[in-house]
Amino acid sequence: MRRALYAGSFDPTTNGHMWVVQQGARLFDELIVIVGQNPHKKGAWTIAERVAILKECCAQLRNVEVRHFDGRYLVRVAAELGARYLLRGLRNAGDFAYEQTIANVNRDLEPQVETVFLVTPRELAEVSSSTVRAMVGFAGWQDVVARYVPSAVLQRMKAEAP
């Protein structure tokens, strides 16, 4: 069985994240999506809220499971869960440089776990959670943000917007 992990903060989940999840579901027998907290970022939603939203977004993907991440090295979690692959999405050269460094460190820690990179389509290359969060609050933000996030995320954002 080919099992992969795809991890992120997903705060909020974007269409770019969902593209990677959909491709991972197609490429692997099982994809575990791990929601974590980046200690260098202040999250808008709790991990439990992000897990719930991602489960809703992934409901139609039978071979995708969503879990939370407790702060251990992801590559060690992958090894413990029997996942041989870490799935990562790349939007640009900056992402590649960062992800290549992490992949090399992960290989040092767990040589049997490979990192697989997927290059996102051009129309999703500029989408990031930070950018989406920065768009909220301006006049007409709902129409703009709707282009970049799944409907479950947009509905949640609308419900919480001032």
Residues classed as catalytic: 17, 41, 91, 129
Half-sphere exposure of 108 (CA within 13 A, CB side): 6
Spatial distance between the Cα atoms of 21 and 87, rounded to a whole number of angstroms? 9
Of 2, 33, 8, 154, nearest in space to 91 by CA: 8
The neighbour count for residue 43, using CB atoms within 10 Å, is 17
To which residue do tokens 């999405």 refer?
Answer: 89
The CA–CA distances, whole Å, from 124 to 20, 72, 103, 128, 129 equal: 11, 29, 23, 9, 12
Contact 73, 109 (CB under 8 A): yes
